[in-house]
Structure 1
Amino acid sequence: MSDQIASYPKPSHSLPSLSINDRASDLDELKAFLNSIGVQTHNTRIDRYQKYLKLISINNGNVDASTIFKNVTDERFQHGMDWYLYVLREVDELMFILKGIKIHIPKGVEEKLAKIVSGADFAALDKNTESRNTQFELRIASYFCQAGFEVDLTTETDIIASKGRNFFYIECKRVSNSRQLEENLLKAKQQLTSRMPAKRHLVRKNFGLIAMDVTKVAYKHNGLTFGVINEHAKEVMQDDLKKISNKINHINFFSKKPAIIQCWLQIHMPGIVEYPPQAFTRFSSLFILNPHTQFKFRSALSLLHEAIVDANLSDPREVPAKKINTSLTLPAGTKLWLDSEKLEAFFGYNDNPQAYNEILKNDTDIEPPAKDAVGRIMMQGKNYEFSILDLGRLVADLSEIERNEFSERLFGSDDDARKSRTELLCMLFMRKHPFYHGEGEHERELL
């Protein structure tokens, strides 16, 4: 893992992202559509997501989510960021479903939407799987709706998506653990072989596709994930999908007649990229092709590829990527502070150099630092604190040679130490607040 991480280039820009207000706007639109087809959303999970997003936007992230989601007592929901990411997962999936419906309303979607509204607030806590199973079907259907397919949800088959002469029969399965992989794959195969037309048609071409949500197989907690940078987060999920693919490669879940041509594995997870600090929701996919039909039905596979992989999933409302700052100008009046004892303990020094006094220690106009704080910058009327964890993450990015050289300067002569500790505080600031541009321009990177 460490070798992989070290090989990634350092990002120069943030990830494009949607604002909280855009997500809330989409929920407004979804609620209006649901109400127009007779599906009530008052006091449902849709209603609670909307209340949460509007409050978090107004209060800049400071919301007691437990007052909105009153029945959630799970230990995974503690920190405000936990609540935010779990809500993000749900809302972004509903937004993705809405995106498809806006382009093409599938036949039979009304009944499916009524089922997903009645589910538990969070997939991680949903013991009645029918609601989330249906939501997965609608997520998969949305890919085809966005790609201009006709989509039918009214038959025994979960989804029939067609374009021109090509008809794709799709069975969707959500799998909770590794033991259920084989059972669900063989069940999907049996359902497809019994439900797809047995006779060849002169005009119509029929193909089978198995779609499986394996999120809980890869992440038993069905919760959150983490990446050092965006490329790392992508690769972590792809590695998990490959491990699952290796587990099922001995199972005979394909067929030639009728032709089951592809198995689509997908993980749907929210998480945090550490640098630059941002939240994300990712639908990560891996495709297993039927080796016996791969060449014969390459045109059908190409059509699937266009619908699933090459579909334009970006949103024109996305906040463009922002350049990460690589320098920081400290304005007049800036005050700096470092806890020498904590710094020494972290770098393994036992001496107590007199250089660089704790210049905020006796300043009565400044709030005392948090107990775990190792440093602080007070700039333009705001306090920016850095913990031992922040320091550890910063140092982890340095090579051993860089770390040793920097450590020597931090504890060197008075002049070197003062300059190096000022540099350290600036590095901590830029890592934690990479998009800072001065007074009035700072914003919450994670939200």
Structure 2
Amino acid sequence: MQSLDIKHHIEDLQKIRNFMELRGIATHNTRLDRYARFYEEIEVRGTQSIDAEAIFKNSVDSRFRSPGDWLLYVLREVHELMWIMKGLQTHTPLGVQEKLETVVGGRDFAALDRDSRSRDAQFELRIASYFCQSGFEVDMSTDTDIIASTGKFRFFIECKRIGSETQLRKRLSEARSQLRKRMPKNDGARIVMGCIAADVTKMAFSHNGLTFGMTNEHSRDIIQRKLVDIADRFGGALSFAAPRKLLGYWLQIHIASLILKPDPPTPATRFSSYQIPRPNLNRRGRRAVYFFYEKFEEVSVKDARAAPPQALAPRSYVTIPEGSTFSLDKEKLNTFLTQAGIADDEEPVAFASLNIKGKSEEFTNFDVSMLPAEYLDEWRSLVEEKPGEAAAKLIAAMYLQRYPYEPPSENDF
């Protein structure tokens, strides 16, 4: 979901609150109320001047270090609610009342919510929204999390939020057991299929908070790689042994992302999916998969209110002018390269610099961590033979990653 104008967030939050109030669900002095106050104050004072701690006084945490952190954490929550509301405006599922009452009672931020019921219900509503927007009749009133019916198809969906690697097998096994008990063997002429939707955000990002990317595409690719890695590493847990009508697994990551380029940086929310269909499906199963994907793609479209993308020309190389100088701390670099990854609370540590015509660029552990693994593998082979050339190429690669588009004038590099 793209970053929209502040006024759109305020309008959509009011729609959500009105929807709930009409159903007898009070929203005053709840997290919805605080999100609305946050955006209303931004509209008046601006992001840098707002006193977010006064609004979210029971949710102050070491992860909220700057106005940008507050903006992204709120954005993550509000965009999910906006997506849910988009579905509820199209079709109101049976059983939605209890889900909404549970959602309102949660803590302000998922990263701080120790009682999982609120975010579990919110995830179920997020998945239900895809089906509501796609023209399905949706039922959330039974033991099954979501039953979505339309035409010749009926999908039984179990939703699981998975917070750690140790939970993965247990939660997916539980979902398969629930589908075995709850899915009927047949439903007249309808094709009955099961699906397990799993939110693996906290597995991929243990802080359950924010990420960033140099460009929109880079941000997308970081999250997709996380999903593919989880699917590859835990393929054994993604069993299709039973139930026989299990159509597939639907892995999701939902996270706020700061997109650094082009300037100014843009906050956005990623709802990234990775579908794992049952292998060797029969004809009826293939029809169900194609239909399922088709409906998913129909609603996964850009919000019409978002500003059109800026026309930019990506560049594949960078020319560093004569007279430029660089430096690199090999010991720090080696330390970064031997680490498994960057810790949630880790601070940027500079290890290299580049000076072009008096303008200095510093590069940190975050810059090298975002380079593709394939590039670093090739670089390691070069560093043994030509260390000076390898250092220059690494700095040039990080510079290109930082400035991935053609400069607007000949005086820029």
Q: TM-score, normalised by structure 1?
A: 0.70
Q: Please say if residues 17 and 320 of structure 1, whose CA atoms lie closer than 8 Å, have aligned partners that are also in contact.
A: no
Partner of 2:305 in structure 1?
317
Match of 1:135 among 101, 119, 122: 122
The answer to whether structure 1 residue 41 and structure 2 residue 24 are counterparts is no
Deviates more, 1:223-232 or 1:90-99: 223-232
Partner of 2:218 in structure 1?
232
The SS at the match of 2:58 is coil
CA distance in 1, matches of 2:30, 2:246: 38
* TM-aligned CA deviation for residue 17 of structure 1: 3.7
Partner of 1:154 in structure 2?
141
The answer to whether structure 1 residue 65 and structure 2 residue 52 are counterparts is yes
CA distance in 2, matches of 1:258, 1:40: 43
* Cα-Cα RMSD: 3.2
The answer to whether structure 1 residue 265 and structure 2 residue 251 are counterparts is yes
Amino acid at match of 2:178: Q
The SS at the match of 1:43 is coil
Q: Please say if residues 194 and 246 of structure 2, whose CA atoms lie closer than 8 Å, have aligned partners that are also in contact.
A: yes
The answer to whether structure 1 residue 27 and structure 2 residue 1 are counterparts is no
* TM-aligned CA deviation for residue 247 of structure 1: 2.4
The SS at the match of 2:236 is coil
Please show how residues 89-168 of structure 1 align to structure 2 within 5 Å: 89-168=76-155
**Distance change in 2, residues 1:214/1:257 (3 Å):** closer
Match of 1:205 among 191, 196, 208: 191
Q: Deviations 1:94-120 (Å, cap 9, x if unpaired)?
A: 000000001111111111111101000
Please show how residues 253-402 of structure 1 align to structure 2 within 5 Å: 253-255=239-241, 258-276=244-262, 277-293=265-281, 295-323=283-311, 347=326, 400=392
Q: Deviations 1:243-269 (Å, cap 9, x if unpaired)?
A: 110122113632465400110000001
**Distance change in 2, residues 1:177/1:321 (3 Å):** same
**Distance change in 2, residues 1:53/1:166 (3 Å):** same
**Distance change in 2, residues 1:318/1:217 (3 Å):** same
Q: Please say if residues 228 and 273 of structure 1, whose CA atoms lie closer than 8 Å, have aligned partners that are also in contact.
A: yes
Q: Please say if residues 115 and 131 of structure 1, whose CA atoms lie closer than 8 Å, have aligned partners that are also in contact.
A: yes
CA distance in 1, matches of 2:395, 2:256: 32
* TM-aligned CA deviation for residue 271 of structure 1: 1.2
Amino acid at match of 1:188: A
Partner of 1:215 in structure 2?
201
Q: Which structure 2 residue ranges, 5 or more long, are not aligned?
A: 315-322, 328-358, 372-390, 397-408
Q: Deviations 1:276-311 (Å, cap 9, x if unpaired)?
A: 121110001101111142654111111110122342
Q: Please say if residues 169 and 209 of structure 1, whose CA atoms lie closer than 8 Å, have aligned partners that are also in contact.
A: yes
Match of 1:245 among 222, 231, 240: 231
CA distance in 2, matches of 1:93, 1:101: 13
Q: Deviations 1:55-108 (Å, cap 9, x if unpaired)?
A: 112212121100100012311011110000000000000000000001111111
Partner of 1:178 in structure 2?
165
CA distance in 1, matches of 2:324, 2:50: 36
**Distance change in 2, residues 1:93/1:345 (3 Å):** same
The SS at the match of 1:212 is strand
Number of aligned positions between the proteins? 341
Match of 2:66 among 69, 79, 103: 79
CA distance in 2, matches of 1:279, 1:51: 19
CA distance in 1, matches of 2:293, 2:226: 21
CA distance in 2, matches of 1:256, 1:391: 48
The SS at the match of 1:297 is helix
**Distance change in 2, residues 1:206/1:302 (3 Å):** same
Partner of 1:365 in structure 2?
none
Larger gyration radius, structure 1 or structure 2: 1
Amino acid at match of 1:202: G
CA distance in 2, matches of 1:149, 1:191: 22
